[in-house]
Amino acid sequence: MEPVDTDVTGPDEHDGGASAGGPADTADGAPTLGDLLLAVEELWPESLAENWDEVGLVAGHPSAPVNKVMFAVDPTLEVIEEAIEWGAELLITHHPLLLKGVTTVAATTPKGRAVHRLIESGTALLTVHTNGDSAVGGVSDVLADALGLQDVAPLTVAANGLPEEGIGRVGDLADAMSLGDFAAKVFGILPSVAGGVRVSGDKDGLVRRIAVCGGAGDSLFNEVSASNADVYVTADLRHHPASEAREAALDGRPYLVDVSHFASEWLWLPAAAAALGNVLADQGHDVEIQVSTTNSDPWDFILTPG
């Protein structure tokens, strides 16, 4: 099943004109890509990105007008085609297209075809990756909020951010529940994907303190242990880190809940679209914002015992 189609625009009462003293729009009344970049920087500063990451503008001219923006997890060709068909002048994705170095963007390669399609269609591409993870209201904040966590704090505090910014989150449920019921809650809030949810731990064990990290988080086991979490929700848990975490666990904790990388980060998209719409409206811009309906999880089906 594909993620729910989410259409997020600015406030209905907004008249689309530039506010007095606000930023100037282009001749057709639309803000420029440069205006959008400033709004994105306000929400998800590039300074919050991890030093290994590649975020920011990938393709596009800052002077180009932008009337429509699409959010997606991955800059796959299918997502790019969806954005082009809808008429988006800007595609904002969580994952980078060019995280690792390439020696060619010839249209004979997948990444080259993506770059050519973007440029030829006049569609800009912007990456908000670990800066979107770390910022207030970012990927893990949205996941923590969806699970109903209280007194939330980062698992690792950002080097260049506020005390409440950083990778991962930890917080408490209002009431303790069994691991089985909690895993069902996690399953229920995520978009449906082939991999489902994998769980390590006592199904009847009670949990209340929850650590989360949208995307791949098996590098944070030391921080999870230090947080005294009963359970850790993240994606892409590999065999050896998960096995070692189980061996090192105290009374079996933290339990592990392994989810789809795509699903854990997709939750952020509607919230990010709404946040950007609010900032743009406050700046006097009228831009239509929509979340991609493409399920870019790479798996199609799974076989399980029984």
- pLDDT-based confidence at residue 240 (cuts at 50, 70, 90): very high
Residue 22 has pLDDT above 70, yes or no: no
Query: Residue 44 pLDDT more than 90?
Result: yes
| Res 251: pLDDT | 85
Determine the CATH number of domain 136-259.
Answer: 3.40.1390.30
pLDDT recorded at residue 26: 55
Average pLDDT, the chain: 91
**Sorting pLDDT into bands at 50, 70 and 90, what band is 25?**
low
> If we measure between CA atoms, which residue out of 209, 286, 262, 204 comes closest to residue 29?
286
pLDDT of residue 12: 36
Same fold flag, 6-132+265-291 and 136-259: yes
For the segment 263-288, what is each residue's pLDDT rounded down to a tens digit? 999 999 999 999 999 999 999 999 99
From CA 119, how far away is CA 107, in angstroms rounded? 12
**pLDDT attached to residue 11:** 31
What was the pLDDT predicted at 250? 83
Instruction: End-to-end CA distance of the chain: give it in Å, rounded.
Output: 22
Phi, psi of 35 (to 5 degrees): -60, -40
Q: Where are the domains of the chain?
A: 6-132+265-291, 136-259
23: confidence class by pLDDT, cuts 50, 70, 90: very low
What is the band of 114 on the pLDDT scale with cuts at 50, 70, 90?
very high
Which amino acid belongs to residue 110? P
Chain position carrying tokens 């209002």: 174
pLDDT at 10: 35
Pair 127, 44: CB distance under 8 Å: no
Read off the pTM.
0.89
**pLDDT more than 70, % of the chain:** 91
β-strands 56-59, 6-9: how paired?
Answer: unpaired
Question: Position 35: which residue type?
Answer: D
What is the rounded distance in angstroms from the CA atom of residue 221 to the CA atom of residue 235? 13
Q: How far apart are CA 257 and CA 196, in angstroms?
A: 11
Strand pairing report for 150-157 and 166-178: antiparallel
Kindly report whether the peptide bond that precedes residue 254 is cis, defined as omega within 30 degrees of 0.
yes
Paired tokens of 129:
């990756």
Residue 29 pLDDT exceeds 80: no
Give tens-digit pLDDT for 60-98: 999 999 999 999 999 999 999 999 999 999 999 999 999
pLDDT of residue 101: 84
For the 6-132+265-291 domain, the top CATH level (class) is: alpha beta
The per-residue pLDDT for 14 is 33
pLDDT band at 28 (very low <50, low <70, confident <90, very high): low
Q: Is the pLDDT of residue 209 over 60?
A: yes
4: confidence class by pLDDT, cuts 50, 70, 90: very low
Mean pLDDT of 167-185: 98
